[in-house]
């Protein structure tokens, strides 16, 4: 009998609980978590109603993730793919990420093929289209529209086992969805990813330190806090949030390496400490 050879797996509920815990322990994103938890609860209840033969309200599980870069959209989408899989919304739960270049070709007819192939890969899981608004923004002969039409057709034909999440800047995504009645009817749920505040940016920096064995001295820590806080205040138009933190962290690590490389007896303490001169810029 082959059923005994199956690897013991976590029960679905344990698995789901640990995924939800992971979602809810992400830094910041309070409103995002609230909306997704509501959505997940709705899916659970729908499933119970279905099992009891009750009518289930029509609902779209396709989503628009809007907000600036580096606000956790891809991270959350990836988690949601697994959550949707555990909830039985999709059968396989794989996560396929593309942008315009992954869907569009420069010749008539080729875009439809390319987009269709990507949809095939994502069947049973989640297709995540980053900067989706670029599909409809351009002049002259454009194959982006062909990609959109192909996508909508596939969403219609395979609606039982295929979820699409489109993501990008808030204003651009609103325009993108409004540009096409087909998109408007299928993507009616927007989840807005806010910029991180100074406190959250510091937590992200701190998490990077912890996960890579670095420790800040007290004055370095104070400097980083202020530096990131000011960064969020200045928040230029295309402020890249967690990506800004990552780049800054990498610069600090580089400065530390150059500072200690020539010193005598480099011990673990030296290797892990980030001082004020490493973080200053």
Res. 205: pLDDT tops 90: yes
How many other CB atoms are found less than 10 A from the CB of residue 88?
13
The SS3 call for residue 215 is: strand
Report the pLDDT value the prediction gives residue 8, as an integer from 0 to 100. 40
Average pLDDT over residues 177-185: 91
Report the pLDDT value the prediction gives residue 7, as an integer from 0 to 100. 41
Measured distance CA(174)–CA(168) in Å, rounded: 10
Least-confidence region, from 3-17, 91-105, 256-270: 3-17
Res. 224 pLDDT band, cuts 50 70 90: very high
Res. 199: pLDDT tops 60: yes
**CA distances to 42, 49, 54, 88 from 57, in Å:** 10, 10, 10, 17
Report the pLDDT value the prediction gives residue 231, as an integer from 0 to 100. 86
* Strand pairing category for 95-98 and 190-193: unpaired
Measured distance CA(23)–CA(87) in Å, rounded: 15
Residues 6+ apart with CB under 8 A from 261: none
Segment 3-6 long-range contacts (CB within 8 Å, at least 24 positions apart): none
Domain ranges of the chain: 3-193, 198-279
Report the pLDDT value the prediction gives residue 49, as an integer from 0 to 100. 92
User: How much is the mean pLDDT over the chain?
Assistant: 88
Least-confidence region, from 51-60, 186-195, 245-254: 51-60
Res. 237: pLDDT tops 80: no
Res. 137: pLDDT tops 80: no
Q: At what angle do helices 198-211 and 242-260 cross, to 10 degrees?
A: 50
Average pLDDT over residues 254-261: 95
Percent of the chain whose predicted confidence (pLDDT) is above 70: 92
Residues 6+ apart with CB under 8 A from 277: 255, 259
- E strand or H helix that includes residue 192: strand 190-193
Measured distance CA(277)–CA(281) in Å, rounded: 8
Res. 140: pLDDT tops 90: no
In this predicted model, which residue has the larger pLDDT, 146 or 141? 146
Res. 261: pLDDT tops 60: yes
Segment 170-177 long-range contacts (CB within 8 Å, at least 24 positions apart): 170/66, 170/67, 172/133, 172/137, 173/64, 173/66, 173/132, 173/133, 174/66, 175/133, 176/132, 176/133, 176/135, 176/136, 176/137, 177/64
In this predicted model, which residue has the larger pLDDT, 14 or 260? 260
Res. 138 pLDDT band, cuts 50 70 90: low
Report the pLDDT value the prediction gives residue 101, as an integer from 0 to 100. 87
> Nearest Cα to 104, choosing from 73, 77, 129?
129
What's the pTM? 0.83
Could you report the per-residue pLDDT of 90-127, keeping only the tens digit for each? 989 899 999 988 998 887 788 889 999 999 999 999 99
DSSP letter assigned to residue 190: E
The SS3 call for residue 67 is: strand
- Could you tell me the fold of the domain covering 3-193? Rossmann fold (3.40.50)
Q: Which CATH class is domain 198-279?
A: mainly alpha
Measured distance CA(96)–CA(252) in Å, rounded: 33
């Amino acid at each position: 009998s082959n059923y005994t050879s199956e690897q013991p797996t976590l029960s679905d509920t344990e698995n789901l609980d640990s995924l939800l815990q992971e979602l809810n322990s992400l830094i910041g994103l309070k409103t995002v978590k609230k909306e997704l938890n509501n959505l997940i609860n709705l899916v659970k209840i729908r499933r119970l109603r279905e099992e009891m033969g009750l009518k289930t309200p029509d609902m779209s599980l396709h989503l628009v993730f809007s907000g600036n870069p580096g606000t956790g959209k891809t991270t959350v989408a990836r988690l949601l793919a697994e959550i949707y899989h555990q909830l039985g919304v999709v059968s396989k739960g794989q996560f396929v990420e593309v942008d315009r270049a992954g869907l569009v070709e420069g010749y008539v007819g080729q875009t439809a093929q390319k987009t269709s192939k990507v949809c095939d890969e994502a069947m049973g899981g989640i297709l995540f289209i980053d900067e989706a608004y670029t599909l409809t923004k351009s002049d002259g002969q454009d194959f982006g529209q062909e990609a959109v039409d192909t996508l909508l057709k596939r969403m219609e034909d395979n609606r039982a086992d295929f979820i699409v999440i489109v993501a990008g800047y808030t204003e651009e995504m609103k325009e993108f969805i409004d540009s096409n009645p087909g998109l408007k009817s299928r993507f009616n749920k927007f989840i807005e990813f806010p910029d991180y505040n100074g406190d959250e940016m510091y937590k992200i920096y701190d998490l990077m330190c912890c996960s890579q064995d670095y420790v800040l001295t007290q004055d370095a820590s104070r400097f980083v806090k202020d530096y990131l806080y000011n960064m969020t205040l200045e928040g230029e138009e295309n402020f890249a949030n967690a990506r800004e933190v990552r780049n800054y962290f990498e610069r600090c690590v580089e400065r530390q390496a150059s500072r200690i490389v020539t010193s005598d007896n480099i011990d673990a303490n030296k290797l892990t400490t980030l001082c004020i001169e490493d973080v200053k810029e």
